[in-house]
Structure 1
Amino acid sequence: MIPQRNLFSFFFGGLLLGAAALTACREAKDKPATAAGPSSIRAEVYVVKDTSIREEVRLVGSVVANEEVQIVSEQARRLVRINFPDGAAVRKGQLLFKLDDADLKAQLKKLAAQRKLSSGEEFRSASLLKLEGISKQEYERVASSIEVLDAEMDAVKVQLDKTEIRAPFGGRTGIRRVSEGAFVQPNTPLVTLEDLNRVKIEFAVPEKYASRVRPGQEIRFTVENSDKTYAAKVAVIEPKIDLDTRSLFIQAVADNRAGELVPGASAMIGLDLSAIEHTVLIPTRALIPGLESNSVLLVRNGKAEKVRVETGLRTSRSVQVTGGLAYGDTIMTTNILRAKPGIPVQAVANPTAQ
Structure 2
Amino acid sequence: MRYPVITSCYLGFSLLGLLPGLLLGGCQPSAPAGDPPSASPVEENTASPPETARVEVSAAQYQHAGIHLGGLQRRVMSQTLPVTGMVDVPPENLVSLSAPLGGFVKRTELLQGMRVRKGQVLATLENPEFITLQQDYLESKSQLTYLTLEYERQRELRQQNVSSAKLFQQTTQDYERTQIRVEALAEKLALIGIRAERLTPGKISRMAPLYSPINGYVTEVHVNVGTWVNPTDVLFEIADTDHLHAELTVFERDLSRIRPGQKIRFTLPNEDQRERTATVYLVGKAIGEDRSARVHGHLDKEDSALLPGMYLQARIEMGTDSVPVLPQGAVVTTAEQAYVFVQRGRRQEGGQQVYDFERIPIQTGVSEGDYVQVELPDRMDAATESIVVQGAYALLSLMENGEEEGHGH
Q: What's the offset of the Cα at 1:277?
A: 4.1
Deviations 1:11-54 (A, max 9, x none): xxxxxxxxxxxxxxxxxxxxxxx945579634644423554434
Tell me which amino acid in the other structure corresponds to 1:141: Q
Q: Which residue of 2 aligns with 1:150?
A: 179
Structure 2 residue 138 is the aligned partner of structure 1 residue 138: no
Q: Which residue of 2 aligns with 1:201?
A: 246
Q: 1:211 to 1:87 in 2, by over 3 A?
A: same
For residues 125 and 295 of structure 1, the distance between their equivalents in structure 2, rounded to whole angstroms, comes to 103
For residues 256 and 75 of structure 1, the distance between their equivalents in structure 2, rounded to whole angstroms, comes to 41
Q: Which residue of 1 aligns with 2:81?
A: 57
Please point out which of 363, 370, 374 is paired with 1:319: 374
Which of 1 and 2 has greater Rg?
1
Q: 1:315 to 1:273 in 2, by over 3 A?
A: same
Please point out which of 237, 253, 261 is paired with 2:283: 237
Q: 1:225 to 1:195 in 2, by over 3 A?
A: farther
8 Å CA contact 2:279, 2:300 repeated in 1? no
For residues 77 and 295 of structure 1, the distance between their equivalents in structure 2, rounded to whole angstroms, comes to 73
Q: What's the offset of the Cα at 1:157?
A: 0.8
Q: What's the offset of the Cα at 1:106?
A: 2.2
For residues 159 and 185 of structure 1, the distance between their equivalents in structure 2, rounded to whole angstroms, comes to 16
Tell me which amino acid in the other structure corresponds to 1:144: Q
For residues 340 and 153 of structure 2, the distance between their equivalents in structure 1, rounded to whole angstroms, comes to 108
Q: 1:231 to 1:36 in 2, by over 3 A?
A: closer
Segments of structure 1 that go 5 or more residues without pairing to the other structure are 1-33, 287-293, 340-354
For residues 332 and 113 of structure 2, the distance between their equivalents in structure 1, rounded to whole angstroms, comes to 54
**Tell me, what secondary structure is at the counterpart of 2:297?**
strand
Q: Which residue of 2 aligns with 1:71?
A: 97
Alignment of 1:48-127 (within 5 A): 48=71, 49=73, 51-66=75-90, 67-82=93-108, 87-100=113-126, 101-127=130-156
Please point out which of 247, 260, 285 is paired with 1:215: 260
Q: Which residue of 2 aligns with 1:17?
A: none
Q: 1:257 to 1:208 in 2, by over 3 A?
A: closer
8 Å CA contact 2:264, 2:279 repeated in 1? yes
8 Å CA contact 1:300, 1:330 repeated in 2? no
Q: 1:186 to 1:133 in 2, by over 3 A?
A: same
Q: 1:144 to 1:83 in 2, by over 3 A?
A: farther
Structure 2 residue 347 is the aligned partner of structure 1 residue 331: no
Q: What's the offset of the Cα at 1:279?
A: 3.8
Deviations 1:64-114 (A, max 9, x none): 234322211111234455486653323344443444543322221111111
For residues 210 and 51 of structure 1, the distance between their equivalents in structure 2, rounded to whole angstroms, comes to 26
8 Å CA contact 1:199, 1:255 repeated in 2? no
Q: What's the offset of the Cα at 1:229?
A: 2.9
**Tell me, what secondary structure is at the counterpart of 1:189?**
coil
Deviations 1:241-292 (A, max 9, x none): x164333321123368543223223222222334334743364559xxxxxx
Deviations 1:274-317 (A, max 9, x none): 4334743364559xxxxxxx9973467887699x99x8863587
For residues 61 and 312 of structure 1, the distance between their equivalents in structure 2, rounded to whole angstroms, comes to 28
Tell me which amino acid in the other structure corresponds to 1:189: V
Structure 2 residue 54 is the aligned partner of structure 1 residue 41: no
Q: What's the offset of the Cα at 1:194?
A: 0.5
8 Å CA contact 2:248, 2:295 repeated in 1? yes
Tell me which amino acid in the other structure corresponds to 1:239: K
Deviations 1:301-345 (A, max 9, x none): 887699x99x88635875146994459x74144769x99xxxxxx
**Tell me, what secondary structure is at the counterpart of 2:281?**
strand
Q: 1:248 to 1:191 in 2, by over 3 A?
A: closer
**Tell me, what secondary structure is at the counterpart of 1:174?**
strand
8 Å CA contact 1:219, 1:272 repeated in 2? yes
For residues 86 and 248 of structure 1, the distance between their equivalents in structure 2, rounded to whole angstroms, comes to 31
8 Å CA contact 1:115, 1:146 repeated in 2? yes
Segments of structure 2 that go 5 or more residues without pairing to the other structure are 11-55, 194-209, 334-338, 348-354, 400-409
For residues 3 and 155 of structure 2, the distance between their equivalents in structure 1, rounded to whole angstroms, comes to 128
Aligned residues: CA RMSD: 4.0
8 Å CA contact 1:53, 1:279 repeated in 2? no
Alignment of 1:271-290 (within 5 A): 271-277=316-322, 279-281=324-326, 283-285=330-332
